Amino acid sequence: MTTSPITPLHFRLRRSALYLPGANARAMAKARELPADALIFDLEDSVLPDGKNAAREAIARELSAGGYGQRELVVRVNSLATPWHEDDLRAAAQSGAHAVLLPKVDDALGIERSIGLLERAGAPSGMRIWALVETPAAVLHLEEIATASPRLAVLCMGFEDLGKAMRIDPSPPRSALLPILSFAVAAARAQGLDILDGVFTDLSDSAGYAESCRQGKAFGLDGKTLIHPSQIPAANEVFGVSPAEVETATEIIHAWEHATAQGKGVVVVRGRLVEHLHVAEARRVLELAAASARMNTPAQHGV
């Protein structure tokens, strides 16, 4: 496999991250036309054991062909405990993907071992790691997982597997799992990582799915992992920014710049006290809006 040129990613927009079965060439090809921010080419759950090698080769062909534009491209490999893990990492290292998603991560050591294999296989310095938090051991080691490597960029919640392991129903409103979600968000934010919500598996329940997105947003998540293209629009809307938010952020920044030019350290905007921390968040909102606009440009999609 040869490394294909990948469009540089400046601001990582991760409102929607769609899983694509590595055994489904049609789905991987069609994804070039979908408005998902990230595409996760899957070698794990969606691929049967006797199809792993073929799926690995199929993903390599699709990534080499390019045409995915600004989307972040991620390969989910099989876990460290499987016989396919090393071959998956060797292939991913040379695939041209932006990141590798490691499933069934229990602790920092597992991440370090996988990164070692990637680097020995020639992974570029810019390749990032996403880690799936889907085991009780991972919950107990969240802090060390979040600090495992500078390559680590994203934590993904895997509530289906985690709920099964903990004998908790992961279906909405997933109340028993929410303390874990808050702790995971804190672990991610302490290290400057993004964090994505787990999948919503009931494709017939659009209202429940939308509520799941809103719940994730309220808990501070950056986006959601998805199993079907029909779920992309709601995730992009909920985890994106509205015109009203852009207007408020712009007003805050302008007011702050005017105040600091006059030697003031605080300013009041719409009756609310604004300090430096609010300005930093306003700038993040505008950066997110700009990245969203780029993603909405067909030329940037590579279609």
Euclidean distance between CA atoms 108 and 114, whole angstroms? 10
CA-CA distance, 77 to 54, in Å (whole number)?
14
pLDDT at 228: 98
Sorted by sequence, the CB contacts under 8 Å of residue 237 that are 6+ apart come out as none
Distances (CA, A) of 16 to 80, 223, 251: 26, 6, 28
Q: In this structure, are 70 and 219 located in the same domain?
A: yes
| Amino acid (one-letter) located at 191 | Q
Give yes or no for residue 8 having a pLDDT over 90: no
| Residue 181: per-residue pLDDT | 97
Residue 4's pLDDT band, with cuts at 50, 70 and 90, is very low
Average pLDDT of the chain? 93
With cut-offs at 50, 70 and 90, classify the pLDDT of residue 297: low
49 and 76: one domain? Answer: yes
112, 227: one domain: yes
- Checking if the pLDDT of 6 tops 80, the result is no
The two three-digit tokens of residue 232, written as one number: 């992309």
Site of tokens 């927009």: 13
* pLDDT, average across residues 72-87: 97
What domain count does the chain have? 2
Straight-line distance from the first to the last Cα atom of the chain, in angstroms, rounded to the nearest whole number? 23
Q: Residues 174-198: pLDDT tens digits?
A: 999 999 999 999 999 999 999 999 9
Domain membership of residue 2 (yes or no) is no
Q: What is the pLDDT at residue 11? A: 65
Phi, psi dihedrals of residue 273, rounded to the nearest 5°: -70, 130
Same domain, 90 and 186: yes
Q: Can you give the pLDDT at residue 296? A: 72
Report the largest interatomic distance among the alpha carbons of the chain, rounded to a whole angstrom: 69
The answer to whether 213 and 238 are in contact (CB under 8 A) is yes
Q: Considering the domain boundaries, does residue 11 fall inside one? A: no
pLDDT at 3 over 50: no
Q: Is the pLDDT of residue 298 over 70?
A: no
- State the Cα torsion 257-259-263-266 to the nearest 10°: -110
* Secondary structure (3-state) at 154: strand
Nearest Cα neighbor of 63 from 95, 35, 40 is: 95
Q: What are phi and psi of 107, to 5 degrees?
A: -160, 180
Residue 302 has pLDDT above 80, yes or no: no
Map tokens 């779920």 to a residue: 231
Residues 224 and 282 in one domain: no
The model's pLDDT over 127-149, given as tens digits with 9 standing for 90+, comes to: 999 999 999 999 999 999 999 99
Mean pLDDT (whole number) for 267-283:
91
Q: What is the pTM of this model?
A: 0.91
β-strand 267-269 against 272-274: which pairing, if any? antiparallel
Task: Look at residue 293 in the predicted model and tell me its pLDDT.
Answer: 87
pLDDT in tens, 212-269: 999 999 999 999 999 999 999 999 999 999 999 999 999 999 999 998 999 988 899 9
- Domain of 83 in residue numbering reads as 16-238
Residue 63 has pLDDT above 80, yes or no: yes
Residue 29 — very low, low, confident or very high, per pLDDT cuts 50/70/90?
Answer: very high
27 and 172 in one domain? yes
**Tokens at 266, concatenated:** 């605080």
pLDDT, residue 295, reads 81
Angstrom distance (rounded) from CA 225 to CA 218: 16
Dihedral sign for Cα atoms in the order 17, 134, 22, 65: positive
**Rounded CA gap, 81 and 67, in Å?**
33
Token pair 């940037």 in the structure block, residue: 300
Q: Which of 7-11, 39-43, 132-136 shows the lowest mean pLDDT across its residues?
A: 7-11
Considering the domain architecture, whether residues 261 and 217 belong to the same structural domain is answered as no
- Alpha-carbon distance of 140 to 253, in angstroms, equals 40
Residues 74 and 53 in one domain: yes
Domain boundary among 189, 220, 238: 238
Residues 174 and 271 placed together within one structural domain of the fold: no
Nearest to 65 by CA among 90, 40, 41, 29: 29
Domain identity same for 260 and 212: no
Residue 5: φ, ψ to 5°: -65, 130
Residue 25 pLDDT greater than 50, yes or no: yes
Query: Is residue 192 in some structural domain?
Result: yes
d(CA 54, CA 269): 58
Note whether 56 and 115 are same-domain residues.
Answer: yes
